Amino acid sequence: MSRKAVSPVLLVLLAVTMVFITTGCDKLKYDYLVANHHFSNANHHFTEQKFRLAIEEYEKALEKNPSLVQAYRFLGEAYKQLYKPGVENETNAARAQSALEALTKAYDIEPDNKQIIHSLGDMYDKMRDFENAETLFLKILEMEPTNMDNYYVVANFYKRYAGENEELAEKALSMYLRRIETDPLNPQGYAYLAQYYDEKTPQPDFDAAVEVHEMRLKLEPDNYLIYYAIGVNRFWKAFRLQNVLKWDVKNTLAQESEAALKKSLDLEPAHSFTYSYINLVYRNVFSKLYPEKEQYYVQQADSWLDRFKEVRKRELEREKLEKELQRGETGTGHGTD
């Protein structure tokens, strides 16, 4: 699971489902009906990213129904959305404390709720409280050791701190490896491990990433994205390390990049960014390696860049059409009587 925020709409849909399952007959009581009314209003504000209004409504819901666990959870999430990591002032500190209090209350009510555990762990993570965050993320893994996604949650958590601590870098790596060991025939595990090596700080481990991509190819020999990833990897190693690598090494990397990217195009000619990277290989590597042929390689790069623009334009048009069709399908059947 990545660090990106979870979709507010998906979060609220889950919450609504839980509320109507758990309140049962108590929902018939007046206070509970009022609580659900405020909870519904709060959810609407949350999806509209009006987090201050959402906070007011979640608090009103909890006044009427203090056992409404999802209201505590999303009250905490709303405060979390207003919290700004790294900013030190009284307002931000108060938001952090309010988020922790609400999420801890939800956790106390449902200590085995994976979503709540992750929400609380994520808040500690944002506050750079490593120990509390680690405890919660590891609990998720302990609860569901056969759920492959949980390994990514923990691995990505360690990965965020890996640049500061070599021990944590090893912990991150061990999680990716455990994921592969748990399901060695699933190419996704290799993809995440390769990405880890490619994004390793302060310096990517380019060669280790390529070795893992080649393992992926044994499982998915016709996956154009793997060849694309190898081509991108070889380009960046040649480009980023151009001042320290020998000429013959850079030349070999450029040839490997070109071959992998062209193989990717053979498998999928409609992937625009493959054309873009071939342009970069010619423009930024080959033209420097062969200064006597610089004009030729720049012209070749321009040609590949033009092809990128053409294919990318078609991609964007297709994406626009797909979105319009989705909006049309969503709007079908919602006319007024």
**Gap between the Cα atoms of 228 and 236, Å rounded:** 12
**Structural domains counted in the chain:** 3
Residue 46 in any domain: the answer is: yes
Checking if the pLDDT of 284 tops 60, the result is yes
What is the tens place of the pLDDT at every residue in 143-179? 988 888 888 889 989 988 887 788 988 999 999 998 8
- Write out the DSSP string of 92-119: HHHHHHHHHHHHHHHHHH-TT-HHHHHH
Confidence at residue 4, expressed as pLDDT on a 0 to 100 scale? 45
Same domain, 162 and 286: no
Answering whether pTM is above 0.75, one says no
Checking if the pLDDT of 25 tops 80, the result is no
Residue 335 in any domain: the answer is: no
Same domain, 264 and 139: no
Q: How confident is the model at residue 10 (pLDDT cuts 50, 70, 90)?
A: low
Checking if the pLDDT of 1 tops 50, the result is no
Q: Which residue has the tokens 């506050």?
A: 127
Residue 337 in any domain: the answer is: no
Query: Region 70-91: what's the mean pLDDT?
Result: 95
Q: Spell out the residues 6+ positions from residue 216 whose beta carbon is closer than 8 angstroms to its own.
A: 187, 190, 191, 194, 223, 226
Q: How confident is the model at residue 9 (pLDDT cuts 50, 70, 90)?
A: low
Residue 329 in any domain: the answer is: no
Same domain, 130 and 43: yes
Kindly state the percentage of the chain with pLDDT values over 90.
74
Residue 18: CATH number of its domain: 1.25.40.10
Q: Which domain range does residue 62 map to?
A: 1-144
Contact 250, 238 (CB under 8 A): yes
Residue 66 in any domain: the answer is: yes
Residue 330 in any domain: the answer is: no
Checking if the pLDDT of 6 tops 80, the result is no
Nearest to 140 by CA among 157, 162, 159, 164: 157
What is the tens place of the pLDDT at every residue in 114-127? 999 999 999 999 99
One-letter amino acid at 15 equals A
Same domain, 136 and 1: yes
Query: Region 208-231: what's the mean pLDDT?
Result: 97
Confidence at residue 307, expressed as pLDDT on a 0 to 100 scale? 97
Confidence at residue 2, expressed as pLDDT on a 0 to 100 scale? 42
Checking if the pLDDT of 249 tops 50, the result is yes
Same domain, 90 and 227: no
**Gap between the Cα atoms of 128 and 315, Å rounded:** 40
Residue 333 in any domain: the answer is: no
Same domain, 162 and 275: no
**Gap between the Cα atoms of 264 and 87, Å rounded:** 44
Angle of the 130-143 helix axis to the 114-126 helix axis, nearest 10: 160
Identify the residue with better confidence: 211 or 156: 211
Same domain, 81 and 173: no
Confidence at residue 281, expressed as pLDDT on a 0 to 100 scale? 98
What is the tens place of the pLDDT at every residue in 183-205? 899 999 999 999 999 988 888 99
Contact 285, 298 (CB under 8 A): no
